[in-house]
A and B are shown apart, each in its own frame.
Chain A
């Protein structure tokens, strides 16, 4: 099976610093990540999302970044712990 079901990650924030990535080959431009956390995610005129900075996610934004992960219909966003 495709593994496309399930509620997704729900690890509580506040642990070790994390980074986040968007897989450009999976992103289809739903723009959910940009809506949930525009501080971290950018979106271009074609709908392609990207991460603004390679730095660690600031701790105060981590919860919303995790929401972006669990709301992406394409499973394109990953947290790197």
Chain B
């Protein structure tokens, strides 16, 4: 859907604007200096927070900033109640307490540090297999041939659904997140996920297995089995939030290394920098912006917000705030003090953050082991998706 280009970012921003998708960093810098809480009437209106202090303060004020609607690109009109597929959305991400609290506790052990350690071998094998497929060619699309292929397969394993369907899952998730501007496409993607998971849920009720949805079938809350729509919402969340986000982070990190040969050479020469490098790449290229809904008329940092207003929590912009980070626009691979909020802040901290960190680290380690030097392909175009999740969708690189 084409819309008029933005000329005033303070009062008429659009996170799907071409310029914003390609290079949002100077826009955030300007906003932080001139109007750190921007507003737009587009897409039914929204505020956008761009400083570290504002974003983290709002993330902690869950009484004022509800998570009942977290989509950055929302529906253009209120859906017919009969068309709502999942009564509770995708808890815990789309829930406030108390639903958030107990659904999150069901989910967290699947992504605990110890559990994620068990997924590392599979992830490494997967990366090696993918690399084997294109290393001899001397060129690859680092986004679609590599980054995009990794998280979806690990998440499929956790959900106990076939990795062979990865492309289908990826397609649905892109429909929901990346192409949300096309309302019919977003709806179709959501319906695809729901219909598929509904079948999987029925199969697990018949014979539970060792996977996330089976565990939810067997769980109880307040002595009663968990409502189907909540099980489907949690499984849908794992699929939607576990794929596009980490894939974007891996892709952005590879884009950085392809375009900053000094950083790439340093990381190859000093592999012990990997831990700080992963945190720094997460900070500098944070993929995820989330929304909140204002619960009551309020004044936030001088801005008159009304009940029902949408507020964009720009975690990526917060992570480039010079008040919180020294030289925020420089990627410093050995940055020691890095209190970034790429995974959010407060009670909605990304439940999959341990998994995402592991996947990003392993994906980079394996790539650099096989391909220590690489650059963007001459004449080829890198394309970026953005809005809710920012990252490269096409990233042609060569390593002759």
Interface string of B43-87 (1 = CB under 8 A from A): 000000001110011001000000000000000000000000000
A4 touches B52 (CB 8 A): yes
Given the contacts A2-B53, A67-B336, A45 and B324 also touching, CB distance less than 8 Å: no
B345 touches A5 (CB 8 A): no
Whether a CB of chain B sits under 8 angstroms from the CB of A59 is: no
A29 touches B349 (CB 8 A): yes
A45 touches B337 (CB 8 A): no
What are the residues of chain B within 8 A of A46 when measuring CB–CB?
105, 108-109, 112
| A64 shortest CB reach to chain B, Å | 10
The total of Cβ contacts below 8 Å across the A-B interface reads 76
Interface string of B379-393 (1 = CB under 8 A from A): 000000000000000
B56 touches A45 (CB 8 A): no
* Interface of A: prevailing SS: loop
Query: Which of B53, B57, B339 has most chain A Cβ within 10 Å?
Result: B339
- Chain B interface size band reads 20 to 34
Question: In the complex, A35→B51 CA distance in Å?
Answer: 27
Which residues between 265 and 287 of chain B lie within 8 Å of chain A, taking CB atoms?
275, 279
- From B57, B321, B341, A2 is in contact (CB under 8 Å) with B57
Whether a CB of chain B sits under 8 angstroms from the CB of A57 is: no
| A71 shortest CB reach to chain B, Å | 6
Smallest CB-CB separation from A74: which chain B residue?
B345
What are the residues of chain B within 8 A of A45 when measuring CB–CB?
108-109, 112, 114-115
- From A29, A67, A71, B108 is in contact (CB under 8 Å) with A29
Interface string of B88-128 (1 = CB under 8 A from A): 00000000000000000100110011110000000000000
- From B53, B339, B346, B354, A31 is in contact (CB under 8 Å) with B354
Interface string of B333-347 (1 = CB under 8 A from A): 000111111010111
Question: In the complex, A7→B322 CA distance in Å?
Answer: 10
Which residues between 29 and 51 of chain A lie within 8 Å of chain B, taking CB atoms?
29-31, 34-35, 43-47
Whether a CB of chain B sits under 8 angstroms from the CB of A21 is: no
Query: What is A's interface to B at a CB cutoff of 8 Å?
Result: 1-2, 4-8, 10, 28-31, 34-35, 43-47, 67, 70-74
Query: What is B's interface to A at a CB cutoff of 8 Å?
Result: 51-53, 56-57, 60, 105, 108-109, 112-115, 275, 279, 321, 323-326, 336-341, 343, 345-347, 349, 353-354
- Please name 27 pairs of A and B residues whose Cβ atoms are closer than 8 Å in the assembled complex, sorted by A: A2-B56, A2-B57, A2-B60, A4-B52, A5-B51, A5-B321, A5-B323, A29-B108, A29-B349, A29-B353, A34-B113, A44-B112, A45-B109, A45-B112, A46-B105, A46-B112, A47-B113, A67-B336, A70-B336, A70-B337, A70-B339, A72-B339, A73-B340, A73-B341, A73-B343, A73-B345, A74-B345
Closest 9 CB pairs of A and B: A28-B349, A2-B57, A45-B112, A45-B109, A4-B56, A5-B324, A70-B337, A5-B323, A46-B108
13 more contacts with CB within 8 A, not counting A5-B51, A46-B112, A73-B343, are: A2-B57, A4-B56, A4-B324, A5-B323, A7-B325, A7-B337, A10-B337, A30-B343, A34-B113, A43-B112, A45-B115, A47-B349, A73-B341
